[in-house]
Structures are given as structure tokens and as C-alpha cells.
Chains A and B, each alone.
Chain A
């Protein structure tokens, strides 16, 4: 765009330059020929008065030496009758345009016609007409156009080169900024962009750096707050839970015992929520560390299913397509957390249904685990969003509790294991998959 603008401006400037130069040349030529015509007129006064056409012709022939460009000269008397004429030898006959006699000068093609009255004692006694061949004009035109074209090409090349280097310099810095923005939005990691320039892009980069520092600072404060708050919440919760457990042991009367059960169930929910908040805080501050070991996924699946089954009174968890004794290299506790989360979600989001299915299947050097239900499903447009922080499916009725943290934590845990987690869902039911690297056989 900048180069296009430069080319346009250059073209206009060179055109104006050439046109002005030609106009100026023509002006000069008119002035000099008018003067010459006046001189010829003055010299011919006596020849007209004495009707000496030979002398007039002689004067006209003298023009050949004064200005070789003049190819024709005429003197007419006051009645317009031709009195004397001169035609340059070898010159092509060119008709005099009709308006040449009326105007002081006329340009026709590359010819100039100049007329000047012959005045004696304040009365016009005749007229001089000069026809000038502007052969020089063609040369000037050609030279000017060639010069303009050459300068234009040189300027164009020069502006291209400058634009190329400037654009390269600007584009490089802008692309660096764009790439950083993309990385921030994709991974959440940010490194300040170094730029020591003093132009608008530097101002933009400095403003972006400052903004990101503020964002990071506020993110850090928020994450620290979540960490401290979650930790501080756990201490009183320990007392509440412990004393209620004690009370439950002592209390046998109904409905008191039932009330205590309800309170304890909610304490468990609160405990799990605080634990999730702490995990999110760790993910955000990069403190979520894995304790990697080798273990049999088959055993973990059975143990986890048994533990979740114990607390579920509504659903039966069924294992299908068992991949037997597959050894994975992972953080056992964290993978258990992912499984518990997916199983709890499958139960929670399939109210009125009775079964949840778990499958494990070997695929290349990975083990794929599938947890599926016949519940409310996940709309296609939300299948990526559900793995984001605090995201809850729009169609969920408010009585299904949740904070929108579980799948976000699962995604991070699986990602840290170089695995993948995704969901497939039709109109009814959804299937959550995750993959884990298998131990390579020796």
C-alpha cells in the first residue's frame, strides 16, 4: 500500500514536471517568435508603403539565418492580400490553420504560427505570419520523458528497497508481537518482548509489555489468594468435620443422626471444592508436580470403580473391553483423580439413568480410557469449552452443582502426561476419552 502510494505520487510529480517544462519551453518560443515577427513587421513598413515586394521577400529570406526553425513567413497587406512570402527550401508544405490569422499564436501539431500586425502611424497596414517547426520540442519532449522515466524507475527501485527494509524491520517486530499474543492466548505463558526502538511500534510493544505485567501481577495475586484461602479454609474444616464425625459416633437418635449425615455429605463437597481450587492454583502457578511411577492401569481402574461405586446409590459402573495388565508410566494419584472426576461427572450428568460404562483399549503405544454415560450430553459447540476454567455447560439446570473446575484439572493432568483428553457426544449421552503413554516393552 505504501509502495503503491509512493508510485502514484512519483508519477504525478514527474508528469507535472514534464508538462510544466514543455509549457515553459513553448512560452519562451512564442515570446521570441512574437518579438521576431514584430521586428520583421517594423522592417517591412517601408516595403509595404512603397509596395516593394522584392525588398520584403529579401527581409523574409533573412529569417533563414536568424532562425532556421522558421519554415514559412508571409506578409499580407491591410486587405489580407499576400504581399511577400518565404518558404524554407525543402520544407514540407503545411496548410495554415484558419484560426492562425485571428490569434496571436497557435500551436498545431509540432508547429507554431505567430502573427503580428504591421503598424505605421497608428494604423494597421499589414500583418506578418511566421510558421515555426518545433523540431526542438520533439527532442526536448523525448529527453524529458526519458529523464522522467529514468528518474521514476530509479525512485521506484529506491522506494522499493527502502520499503522492503523498513517493512521487513516493522513486520519482524509486529510479527513477534502477534506471535507473543497468540502464545499468551494459547498457553497462558508470557515472556516480555525486548524492543529498543523509538517509534510507534516500540510504544505499542512497551504498552503490551506493561499490560501483560499487570495481568500477570493480578493473576499471581489471585492465584496466591486462592492458595492461601484454600489452605486456611482447610484448617477450620478439619475441626468441623472431626467434631461432626465425633458427634455422629455419639448420636444414635433420629432424625439427629440423619441431619449429621447431610451436614457431613456437604462438608465432603466443600472439601472437594477446596481441593479443586488448590489444584487450579497450582496449575496456574506452575506448581502442580507429578510423581511418576509404573503401575497397572487395570488394577487402578478396578479400585477406582469400586470406590466410586461405594458412594453411588443410583448408578452401576460397568467395565467393558478390559485391556489386561497394561503398565502405564504416570502419577497414580493424579490419574485416579481424573478417573474419579470423569466417573462422578458421568453419574452426575445422567440423572434418571442407571449405568455408566468404562472401557480401556490399547492403541499403538498408548492406552485409551473411555468413560461413557447416557445422560444429557455435551453440545458440539461446547465440547472444547467444557475443559476451560469455571466453564459450565449452558444447558445444565441449576440443581446440578459444580464449579466448572474438574475437567480443567483433568485436562492439565493428562496434558502433563503427554496424553490427550476429549469428548464425543451425540444428542444423548457423552463419552470422555483420555490417553496415556504405555510402558515400552523391552
Chain B
């Protein structure tokens, strides 16, 4: 019978495992330049030195702690399937982080080989790695490889076959200090009494995992005959403290190995390191993040002003032209009040949208937004929330639909559901025109501050809603967040402009589609039945608005605002276009601004209440549809609508009365 050698290919995400797998087996698996390309294990075979080598490419994992589904797959394969050899693919240009997994693999008692990959990148950068010294210090073979060129594949296979034939297991592990070692030893003694456990797991590894509070391992041990004794022993310790101590010891060991094996690895801080040291600082990280976000909104509002004025002048000229030259009167009203008043009222905000997307593109391209997620994660995790959800939340500043789709990367179903439900509170670009209109009219030079405050309110409501859900209807434990920080880059204007156009152009398409249709419907409702004054309380729009007015009156709003808010459910920009139609603002947003300012029913406090209500009140139709799709339930989509409406009403009510107290009501 032919000799079969099973090999597990493991390592951190994005270290080139799949490239190495393809180079070894001749397979054509998809390779990407970002973490998480391999989400399940893949197998391939080859013949070498008279043996059949079965290679399994495992999902990338930073540790064997098994927080996510990918990590569980990787760990369980090594423990349950017991491959003859474990090959850890290590990114030579990032040794310190990669060796953490090595320290944990060493405890599994399996034969381990290090494939020192991307050596070309490390050496090109000036690193000098002594792989022989590294092999001595780790007590495992270290083979230099370059997956893309196939360099080192024969040596790697040679080492695999050699170590498998010798049946040599790795026996060197690091010490965790006298107290911890005594505890590990006691626990191993108890675990050893159950032959089923002793046969399945390396007992020292099992004890370490139990002391570190590994939930998956605890579940496994709970069915054992020694479970009671094990858990009684574990009751006496603080898991977090031990986990931190063990991590420190592993990094201590790495810190001792690295300077001996890599003479230029301990390098001078790069620009990226420097920036990270400051922007992720415990005290300064969040203030810097808030200051930069405020700067972005200030710039969005201020720099767009001359462009907005220019567009307003164009629509003003168009409106006058239509009124003077088109007959019959109803057609002039349709084009002037319906199309120009509605769509024009929204198009005037295109400069703001584009400038905001340009700034966000620059921040994203530079790598800073990823740090934003990291900084906020600490805050979110501190109050027991899923940290990973901050990335979809950041995406929500553009549009909530792709942001909700992005929650697919969150492994835990409960965390994912919470993230989906709170995402509509993150203010998308479609809501910006409403804020700019009302803040510009009622708050003048402070408009930028007011808009920034609205965005912050959205984030706060999302965070506190998540906390509420996680402690009531969706109880459970959140998984910790591990994220690889991309290096900082100086973004090119070309890439930033392309990114801005990609996102901003959808706004233009909406203006020519759904916003135009919405404006025409509002025009129709404001014009009929025949004979009524356009946009009056006797029109269909007025009748609908009057019906709902009692609900919004406590928020300082009248029937016109009620109609605009109803149509805003289709798309949030329609709030502005509806107001443009209802106020008969066929000369662009300048006329609408004047009309709003002149409306005795509206005040600065009421304007704040409108902004808060629009921020929170309900997801638009497209967002609701995606919530239904992603949760697979109309119930959750309905819950999102009802919860949003309730929160919006109460906070708008509070805002109206508090603002009325401080800055004066109507």
C-alpha cells in the first residue's frame, strides 16, 4: 500500500497560504490580497519521494483561540484529523505577529514545519533573517519559500516527507511561570483520568485552553466524566488575568527569539508606526477621531457653499424661464413646481455629497478609517457590543444598503442581527440634504457644528440601541474583534476622485429616477382635486398631511412636514424635494430656504427636531428590503421600522422641547 502523508497548511490570514497550496498541488484556487480569502478548508494531492502527499489549505487564523467559524475549522482540523505534519506559512516581513500562532501550534504536540514565505519582500525591505538560527530557537524546521515563484517547494516537501517518516512530534513549549505551571500540572492530572479526553487532545494544550476560558473547549470538556472536578478547579481562577499572562509570556518568548534570528527585524519606526502610535493612543485616539470627523463635515458644508449658490442660480434662471414662457399654466406648474422645485431642490446639494464622499475616500484610502474602527471598537467592546460591527457602521455613512450587506463578514448570527438593526441609525448620504437645508436656514455659521452633532447622535443611538438589544431581546456574548491594520498610504487624487464619483453618481441617478417620480407624485397630490390652490390644506397632500399632523405637532411640525416625511420613506432625499414642491419653491433651494424661514409654523427648535426625526425615523424602502433579505424575516424588518419610529419620535420630541427652552421655540 502506498504511503499517504497528510499535511495541514495553516497560518495568519493573507500570508500566502493559498498561493503556496497552488504551487504545491498545481491547483488554481482563488488568491486575493486581503485577509479572509479562504473561508473553508480546501484539499489537493501530489506525489513526492514515493509518497502521496495530501495537502489541506486551512482558513487563516491569528491564534488557536477559535473565536470565529474560520478559526474553529482550522483548529478542529489539526486536533481532530491529526495531520501527519502541520506546515505553518509565516509572512517573513511580519515575523512578530506570525510567531504568536507558532507558539500556540507548538503546544499541540504535532510535528510542525515553518514555511518562511514572502522572504523576497522581507529581504527587499532590508530585513536579514537567519532561518537556521530561527529553526534552532523554535526547535522546528524552517524552510525559505516564495509562493509566487515556487522557490523552496522541493525543500519544503522534502522536509514534510522526512519529518512524517521519522514520526517526530514537537515537544518544546514555552513556560508560563511557576504559579501557572503548577496549575496547568494539576489540571492535566485531573484531565488524564478521562481516557477519552487523553486520547483526543494533547492534555497540556487542553489545560492551557481551559485556563484561558476557551468557550468551545469548555463545551467539549463538559461532557467528560471529569467535568465536575475540572470546573471546580477552574472556579478559583480569573480567566482574563491568566489569558493576559499567557499572551505576555508568548510575546516575551517571541521577543527573545526575534533579535537573535532577525538582525534587522527590530527596525526603526516607520511613518505608519508613528501615526498609529498617536491615533490609536488610549487618551488621544477618540478626540483626534472626533476632531477629524468634525473637520470633514465643516469642510463639506463650507467649501460646497459657492457651488451650491451657483446651482441655485441656474435653477432660479430655469424656474423663471419656465414660468414666463410655458403655457398652459398646469404644464408650467408641473415643470416649475414639480420637476424644478422637486429635483432641483435636491440637485443643489450634489456638491456637498461629492465633497463628503471625496473626504471619506481620502480617509479610507489613507488607511485612517480602519483605525477609526479600531478606536471605536475599544469603546464599543467596553460596553459589551460587537466590535466588528463598526466597519459596516462606517460604510453606512455612504449608504445603508451595502453596509447591511457587509455584515455578512460577522460570524456570530446574534452580533450580525444587532449590527443590521442599528445600521439605519448611521446617517447615510441621502439624509445630508435635509440637514444642510435646515441647518443652513436656521443655524447659519453654526450649520457645520449642528450637522456634525446630528451624525454623532446617530452613532450614539446606534451604540445604545445595540446595547439595549444585546441585553434584552438578543442576549449573548460578543466575540472579540481582531483586525489587521492596512499600512498608511498617501492616497492619489485620481483614486479618491474615482471613488467619489462611484459613490456620488448613484445620488445623481436617484435624482433622475426615484426622486423625480416622488416629486411628480407630490406635485399631483398638491395640485388636485381640480380647483384647489396649489399645495394648500384642501389639496390631497393637505388632506393626508392634516390627517397625520396630530402625530408630528408635538415635535413642532405642521402638515407639510408630515407629507414630506411620509414620502421620505421611499428615499430620504424626497423629504427635500417634497418640501420644494409643497412650498412652491420653483427657483431652487434659495426660494425653499426663504419659504422655510418665513413659515411661522417652523422654528430653530422645530428644524432641529426635523433633523433628528429624519436621522432616526425609519429605514428607506431599499434598506428595509435588504434588512428583510439579510435577516430572512419580515418580522425584523417590521421591528426596525417600528423601533426607528418610536426612537425618532421621542428624541425629536425631547430635542424640540429642550431646544425650545435654550434657543427659543416658535
Please indicate whether A and B come from the same complex rather than being unrelated chains: no
